[in-house]
Chain A
Amino acid sequence: MKKVLLVLLAIFVLITPLVAQGAKEGPKYQTLKMYTALDTEEAQYYIEAFEKSTGIKVDYVRMSSGEVAARLEAEKSNPQVSIWYGGSNTDHINAMSKDLLLPYKPNIDFELDPAFHADDYSWNGFYTGAIGFVTNTNFLKQHNLEPPQSWDDLLNPVYRGQIEMAYPYTSGTGYTAWATIVQMKGMDKALDWWQEFDKNMHQYTASGTGCIARAGLGECAVGIAFSHDIVAKGINEGYPLVMSFPKDGTGYEVGGISLVKGAKQVTEAQIFVDWAYSVEAQNLFMKYSRLPVNPKATVAEGAIKLSDITLIDYDALAMGLAKNEYVEKWRDRIGK
């Protein structure tokens, strides 16, 4: 029976510090503690490159960006991490408004577009992507159609039960699409438009990227998602898909990176931010077809540039702050 207790104690006492602390690395740098909102697989790809390149070890936990924001707020008095890597800038802006971030102007050799950073550099944008349509080419051929060129094209009855996208309340992608419509039309007209549009929906998915391969498989005809995901998870996978953008304008996201107020590894976090802007790091985006912000970085084949498409004047700040209200209005009307 003593053994029983010993095993118990050993597990609960010994393993806690072991995993909570992580292995200590060389004397020079501390282990950088991070929350990331990128997909685990993708985050791991970048972080391993960073560790290799700088010798700084990173301890990261993956969460949705809304969850990161909430966590930072809960830990305000005793921050557990120094850096927040990835996730839509709307959520970073939200955190900035709550005074949770530590400004840092990245040490880079190019001009960063003012839309891609906070005025005081509380958050910085390190990639971008626009909302686009992804359409199954077989479906287009069958119905003798062009890929949709405007939001209203999606109201065509030929698409009845054929469109998929994420719920605005479960995914940043879904919310950006909804916020885009709201900004373009105003809330009342946006709700009317969506009610009409909803008739063509096959189903809403939980994740923003789910609809892409489903369109590729013919489970639906059209998906609405971010361009980088469409290319990386659809077209490059070999699915019969084509990407198009609404000519009347579309919304976009900026992927944010921020230092956390009260960070314990400021130096390491700053090194990480600078690295994230380096040509080396930005070239890694090719694998996931994100649009780099460093002009010297190579753009992935098939990925479009923001300058090639019509963007609305997307107010990430207002959309970030009004998220709960906008989502409730959507759910009240659409009932899903």
Chain B
Amino acid sequence: MSKYSTTRTQRINDLKKLAKEPFLLISIIVIFYLLILFVIYPIFQVVKMSFFYDGKLSLKNYADVLKQSYYIRPLFNSIILGVLVATIATFIGFVFAYGVTRTPMKAKGLFRLIATFPIVSPPFVVALACILLFGRAGIFSGVLGNIYGLKGLTIVEVVAYAPMAFLTLIGVLQAIDPALEEAAMDCGASRIKVFTTILLPLATPGIVSAWLLVFIQSLADFGNPMILSGDFTVLSVQAYLQITGMFDLARGSTLAILLLIPTVVAFYLQKHILAKKSYVTVTGKPTSATIKNLEWYIKYPVYALCIFFAIVVIAFYGMVVWGSFQTIWGVDSTLTLKNYTTMWRVGKNYILDSLYLSAIVTPITGILSMFIAYLISRKQFFGKNAMEFSSMLTFAVPGTVVGIGYILAFNTPSFLMPVTLTGTSVIIMALLIFRRIPVGIRNGIAALEQIDPSIEEASIDLGADSSMTFRKITLPMITPAFFAGLVNCFVKSMTSISAIIFVVSGRWNFITVAILGFVDNSRYAQAAAMSLLLIAIVLIAMGVIKLITDRLGKGMQTILIE
């Protein structure tokens, strides 16, 4: 029998199996519909918009954009910024990870906490802190010169995204047993030799992967450049301005596609590298052994950099706390609680909306992503690869592109969605859910791959149907990944801005948009107060979720890396 007919018979068998489980079939159809509607269709709309001019298929938008320096420069600026930030952040992340895993550093827990703290705050809070510190009315005014531009942006994005590099690299370094290095040392290799021939080669895939992750984040970053870019225009902001300022959807979409290309390339490379040599897993037993007799010329520079970065993070966030108690930032420094009351009065609806929407989407995202992960890793059905691909798609796509896609797709009724979604809460919830499921699905698949499918097969052989098996066997085993997904979803939902800003409305708004509004009107003190409230909400929510998980008696790994 040829290979072709084998797969064909298999497919027919799959279909037959599916037909026996109508519920499974319906679920698959519903999920496909949702993925097409909320993932594929919006992105397709952006691509389509960029290739149409005056209702005709044309490359004119690209020709227009590529011949104008003011459209081209943002593309180069974004890439320059991304390369700079990725390089510096990866370096800092690596040194930090090295310090925590390899040196006998004191207070490692504290350093870890400080180094990961920026992840739970909206990234643009760092830009706010930078103005408070180094702006013309700041504490260290003039120390860095003009912070509006490449310099300021690089600093804030490094602070915001080095934690991501750190979290990726600490996993990598933990998975490499220090015994290897010790053995090499015992055999007479020098420290440098060991580092360059053992640690570095083993860690390289992780380093490249961390670099690309940060590069993607920097390209997609919207909040920081919106606040700090000055004349250094970047693509994500330009695409946004083109649409909200001129309502020029065609060129806005074209800029969005230009932003999408380097991101997708970076994402593809990252996947490719990870697939080849995956050290970024949490499966290996982390070793806590450190190298005891580390030379001073390695130890002290590492310590110095770790302490320096920790001080920077503390200074940035400390500044936000300090700033939130000032009467008018830079003008009247009488301490006051007024900002908190004003912030609450003006922003109450924004805060409650965000809480409400995030609280609803978090469990939905968790359940949906686990369910999709289950389908992908356990079931055979036609279009499985398409489902996997489309559900992971939003992971690589910058928020700006998704936001523009949602405007284009849901501004008017279409054959896929008979009512206009713009201005409703549904569009925001859908955006949040489908932006966040990729991480949940990835964690879910990873968890499921550690469970032997024969356990589930046994259950089915004993007469349970898919539903029963999923509930009684699979679900309990993937609970830790499920809760990690919940934390990730809630944190990222509450702190997201780049896509959300396109779909908020008078009726449904978002806390991050309110903070950006405060910053835009230079109400730094109120912006600081609201940022702190947001961070507090996120921390409390993480605590609550952790409490629930601990009660269930399951270990939880907080996987926050995007």
> Which residues of A are in contact with B by a Cβ distance under 8 Å?
1-2, 4-5, 7-9, 11-12, 15-16, 19-20, 36, 40-41, 43-44, 59-64, 66-67, 69-71, 74-75, 80, 167, 169-171, 202-207, 209-210, 212-214, 216-219, 233, 237-240, 324, 327, 331-332, 335-336
Task: Please determine whether B245 and A5 come into contact, CB atoms closer than 8 angstroms.
Answer: no
B30 close to A5 (CB less than 8 A) = yes
- Between B246, B346, B505, the greatest number of chain A beta carbons within 10 A of the residue's beta carbon is seen for B246
Whether B364 contacts A11 by the Cβ 8 Å rule is yes
Report if A210-B137 is in contact (Cβ < 8 Å); known contacts: A8-B30, A11-B364, A15-B426.
no
Q: List 13 A-B contacts (CB under 8 A).
A: A1-B371, A4-B27, A11-B364, A11-B429, A44-B349, A70-B247, A170-B246, A209-B521, A210-B520, A212-B522, A214-B522, A217-B522, A335-B70
Is the C-beta of B553 less than 8 angstroms from some C-beta in chain A? no
Query: For residue B425, which residues in chain A have a CB less than 8 angstroms away from its CB?
Result: 15, 19
CA distance A9 to B24 in the complex (A): 15
Q: Within 8 Å CB of B330, what residues of A?
A: 217-218
**In whole Å, how far is A69's beta carbon from the nearest beta carbon of chain B?**
7
| A67→B244 CA distance, assembly (Å) | 7
Interface residues on B, range: 35 or more
Q: Flag the segment in B6-14, B54-62, B415-423, B535-543 that touches A.
A: B415-423
- With A44-B506, A331-B70 given, is the CB distance from A75 to B412 under 8 Å? yes
Interface membership of B107, Cβ < 8 A: no
8 closest cross-chain pairs (CB), A and B: A213-B522, A170-B245, A62-B506, A1-B467, A61-B423, A66-B247, A217-B330, A203-B230
Is B255 close to A, CB under 8 A?
Answer: no
Q: How far is the CA of A75 from the CA of B419 in the complex (A)?
A: 12
CB distance from A86 to the nearest CB of B (A): 11
Name the residue of chain B whose CB is nearest to the CB of A60. Answer: B506
Query: Which residue from A15, A41, A167, A217 sits with its C-beta under 8 Å from B331?
Result: A217
Assess whether B523 is in contact with A213, with CB atoms less than 8 Å apart: yes
Decide yes or no: A2 and B245 within 8 Å by CB, A8-B364, A217-B522, A233-B521 being known contacts: no
A107 to B371, CA, bound (A): 59
Task: Name the distance in Å between A1's Cβ and chain B's nearest Cβ.
Answer: 4
Query: Please, which residues of chain B bring their CB within 8 A of the CB of A60?
Result: 506-507
Known contacts A7-B364, A11-B360, A61-B505, A169 near B246 by CB under 8 Å: yes
Separation in Å of the A331 CB from the closest CB of chain B?
A: 5
Confirm or deny: B68 has a beta carbon within 8 angstroms of a beta carbon on chain A: yes
**Residue among A16, A40, A240, A324 facing the most chain B CB atoms (10 A cut-off):** A40
The CA-CA distance from A8 to B34 in the complex, in Å, is: 10
Instruction: Please judge, given known A-B contacts A8-B30, A210-B522, A219-B135, whether A203 and B426 are in contact too, CB under 8 Å.
Output: no
Q: Which of A8, A80, A206, A336 contacts B420 (CB 8 A)?
A: A80
Question: Are A1 and B70 within 8 A (Cβ)?
Answer: no
Contact (Cβ within 8 A) A1 B471: yes
